[in-house]
Chain A
Amino acid sequence: MEKPTPFDLNEAIRHWQQNLGASPAFNADNLEELASHLRACVQKLKATGLSEEEAFQIAVRRTGERGPLEREFTKVNSPVAWSHTVLVFWLVAGVFLLQVAYSLISAFVFSLTSYRLWVFTHHEGHLTDLYRGFQYVDIQFGGAIAMVLFFSICARLVAGDWRRFNVFIRCFEHPLRTALSLTVLGLVPIALRFLIAFIGLPYSLPWRSALLGARWGLFRQGDFAESTLIVVWVLALVFLARHALRNNAAAR
């Protein structure tokens, strides 16, 4: 005979709080206040002779499901929810726009250098430099295009539905999850490198340059350590900003 697991009110309330907490409409203070409300409701219902579990079920139904509560709280907390989104958007936008600018400037410099080489030298030995110069141009342009694409996807995610972006941030909210996510992230450029090595097509093919450029742009020079640092830095900022905003809202 299987024994039913005893009902734990604190655990049930914590679960309920966690479910609500997934929405940016509630700050830490709101969640605690709602939990305190739920507890008072449960006590009152228990006094009428209900079991703790029954009382909890009814109290949850009365306090309201997440949807309607979320709508009402968003109205009051909207400046918080709004600044969250905008802040993260500009953090991501800033980093990528900087990289795009870097790539475009480099592309310009490389094309200028190539042009000067072509104008001022007709020496055989410089042909390699000329070739390399032009190659860098499409690598840099490819990088810039890849970054604009990536940036648009991020912008779409943030503007479309905040919660979808939240899932991404969640990957880094726990040390173990961070380690796992970083390993996966680190494997991506390595896998990309292997892919390029195996494909082994002539270096000058435009699409291949673009692919290399994408790698250069997103993971500057393909350096794993550096790209990881950038990703960690952005995520740390996002994480800190989210917490600062939540705590601010709680202190108010």
Chain B
Amino acid sequence: MLSKELVAASSTTLVLSILSEGENYGYALIQRVTELSAGEVQWSEGMLYPVLHWMEKEGLIESEWRQAESGHRRKYYRLRQKGRKALHTEREQWMVVNNLFTKLWKSQPRLT
């Protein structure tokens, strides 16, 4: 399981990345993260929704209430231009970290 700190640090970038695949709603975002990480990353509602609302306030994403197939209303989120740009920057920064670890850990014998 990912630590609380890492979940918090990666949440915005993950939301931006998932929404870059197309619009989605809160519950599905949590499902998608669980599924992609094989349960290693567990998002709570108390974490996700405030993050989504904050991102919306910052103009990174926008939301819309729509009728779902079940007939109930659902709030869908999608990326805005500012969010797309933010994702680009975030991506570059995470790649730097990723490259760093890859290089560092490749030169050492594997622990497992």
Centre residue among A33, A41, A43 by max chain B CB count within 10 A: A33
CA distance A187 to B57 in the complex (A): 48
- In angstroms, how far is the closest chain B Cβ from the Cβ of A194? 53
Q: Which B residues are in CB contact (< 8 Å) with A43? A: 70
A122 at the interface (CB under 8 A from B): no
Which residues from 20 to 50 on chain A have a C-beta closer than 8 Å to any C-beta of chain B?
29-30, 32-34, 36-37, 39-41, 43
Chain A residues with CB under 8 Å of chain B are 29-30, 32-34, 36-37, 39-41, 43, 63-64, 68-69, 71-73, 75-77, 252
CA distance A173 to B73 in the complex (A): 27
Q: Which of B27, B46, B74 contacts A68 (CB 8 A)?
A: B46
* Total number of B residues with any Cβ neighbor in A under 8 Å: 20
The 4 closest A-B pairs by CB, nearest first: A72-B46, A40-B27, A76-B50, A69-B46
CA distance A36 to B27 in the complex (A): 9
| Other 9 A-B pairs with CB < 8 A, given A33-B26, A63-B45, A73-B50 | A36-B72, A36-B75, A69-B46, A72-B46, A72-B47, A73-B46, A75-B50, A76-B53, A252-B56
Q: Which A residues are in CB contact (< 8 Å) with B107? A: none
Give 24 CB contacts A-B under 8 Å: A30-B49, A30-B53, A32-B65, A33-B49, A36-B25, A36-B26, A36-B27, A36-B73, A36-B74, A37-B27, A37-B45, A37-B49, A39-B70, A39-B72, A40-B25, A40-B27, A41-B27, A64-B44, A64-B45, A68-B44, A72-B50, A73-B50, A76-B53, A252-B56
